[in-house]
Amino acid sequence: MRVDQIDISQYESLLNEKAQQTLALFEQIKLPDNIKTIESNNKNYRLRAEFRVWHQDEDSFYIMFDPVNKEKFRVDYFIPGSELLNKMMVAVREHFLNNPILRFKLYQVDFLTTLSGEALVSLIYHKKLDDEWQQHAKQLKQALNEIAPVNIIGRARKQKVLVDKDYVTETLSVQNTQYHYQQIENSFTQPNGMINQAMLNWASVISQSLSGDLLELYCGNGNFSIALAKHFNKVLATEIARSSVKSAQYNLAKNNINNTVIGQSSAEDFSAAYFEGKSVKSLKDIALSDYQFTTILVDPPRAGLDDKTVELIQKFDNIIYVSCNPETLKDNLLAIDETHQVQDLTLFDQFPYTHHIETGVWLTRRSLL
């Protein structure tokens, strides 16, 4: 559905239809009776977005492309976007329309906002950014700071120019505790902040009944690791993207968490090393024998888990699986169902008005029942 054609009055019916279609995928798996669906706001739910800039005569405006026919359409108000994101869209456009230095060869504008009221604006160009551009970008930052704390990034071929910082700091509330997360430009962050907060609370409630040590794969910037650390003796988390690992380590320090180690490794490499009894190359200073793992949390990309990682997670008493793709989740659960039983399945509407939905699953080893 095109974002300019969203009818918010249809939100409930669309979500119900999506939830039913998703649950139908799992008909071969025994599910608990109390399946919940967590609703999103029906508008202003998305914290990040990117727009191409279209120049036409004396005007310049944001455009997106129709997902079906790829035709461009103008976007003056982005219905899914947070209120702060929309305010930034308007203010940035008004500023570059009246500023030839900022407007000339401006190709794209990316926005990242937070629930806690910060913003990051990335201006992407088909030209080299010089000192004059930086001076005008500083003036833009000063103007936008009247709306909210904001940082500006300029990008061009082989150039990245910072007007202050390249990140925002998000604050999320999980079981009445505030956690602070650095979110870096061009690194993955959950787009729907309120739903992310709901997922963290869901995982935290489950984890408070568990014990021992936690292993997490695909940890990103420490989104789950940081919120769940207090429920476990020790946490070991891995992530393949170097920028996310650095951000996660920064976030550990910012939240004064001392029982968690985050290192760089792919899930595939970690699984292979685990079964071969070898140390992970990038985790050579970490002895897996020092951990008493009882729980594993995975939040993989849309491709889901490879066979070796499925085999790995079956070694754990508790599995917390967060999935953005019900199709690959179904395939993984059919394999995991041989050794584990689903205790909780909750749907989170991370992506309203699309067929995508986030699914959280908690499984326990059958021998423990």
pLDDT in tens, 192-241: 999 999 999 999 999 999 999 999 999 999 999 999 999 999 999 999 98
Structure tokens at 73: 């359409």
Q: Give domain 48-168's CATH architecture.
A: Beta Barrel (2.40)
pLDDT in tens, 291-309: 899 999 999 999 999 998 9
Q: What is the pLDDT of residue 355?
A: 92
Q: What is the pLDDT of residue 278?
A: 67
Which among 333, 365, 296 is positioned nearest to 23, based on CA atoms?
A: 333
Evaluate if residue 284 carries a pLDDT over 90: no
DSSP 39: P
The whole-number average pLDDT for the span 69-93 is 97
Q: What is the pLDDT of residue 276?
A: 72
pLDDT in tens, 16-36: 999 999 999 999 999 999 999
Across all residues in the chain, what is the average pLDDT?
Answer: 94
What is the pLDDT confidence band of residue 342, given thresholds at 50, 70 and 90?
very high
% the chain with pLDDT above 70: 97
Residue 7 Cα to chain centre, angstroms = 25
Q: What is the pLDDT of residue 270?
A: 83
Evaluate if residue 367 carries a pLDDT over 90: no
The whole-number average pLDDT for the span 331-342 is 96
Give the span between the Cα atoms of 367 and 369, in whole angstroms: 6
- Strand pairing partners for 260? 235
Least confident range from 79-93, 101-115, 175-189: namely 175-189
Q: What is the pLDDT of residue 56?
A: 94
Structural domain boundaries in the chain: 3-42+189-368, 48-168
Residues carrying an active site annotation: 324, 358
The whole-number average pLDDT for the span 248-262 is 95
% the chain with pLDDT above 90: 86
Evaluate if residue 368 carries a pLDDT over 70: no
Q: What is the pLDDT of residue 116?
A: 96
Q: Which SS3 state, helix, strand or coil, does residue 127 take?
A: coil
Residue 112: its H or E element: strand 106-113
Cβ atoms 180, 103 nearer than 8 A: no
Alpha helical stretches, state H, 48-192: 83-97, 100-103, 131-144
Q: Helices then strands (H, E): number in the chain?
A: 10, 17
Q: Name the packing angle between helices 131-144 and 83-97 (round to 10°).
A: 140
pTM value is 0.94
Rg (CA), the chain: 22
Least confident range from 132-136, 236-240, 273-277: namely 273-277
Q: What is the pLDDT of residue 321?
A: 98
What is the pLDDT confidence band of residue 275, given thresholds at 50, 70 and 90?
confident
Task: Write the CATH number of the domain with boundaries 3-42+189-368.
Answer: 3.40.50.150
Q: What is the pLDDT of residue 165?
A: 94
Cβ atoms 99, 129 nearer than 8 A: no
Binding-site residue set = 190, 218, 223, 239, 299
Residue 111 Cα to chain centre, angstroms = 15
The whole-number average pLDDT for the span 58-81 is 95
Same CATH topology for 3-42+189-368 and 48-168? no
Binding-site residue set for S-adenosyl-L-methionine = 190, 218, 223, 239, 299
Least confident range from 251-260, 324-333, 341-350, 360-369: namely 360-369
The whole-number average pLDDT for the span 81-105 is 97
Which strands form 106-113's sheet, in the order they lie side by side? 72-74, 59-65, 48-56, 106-113, 119-125, 150-156, 159-163
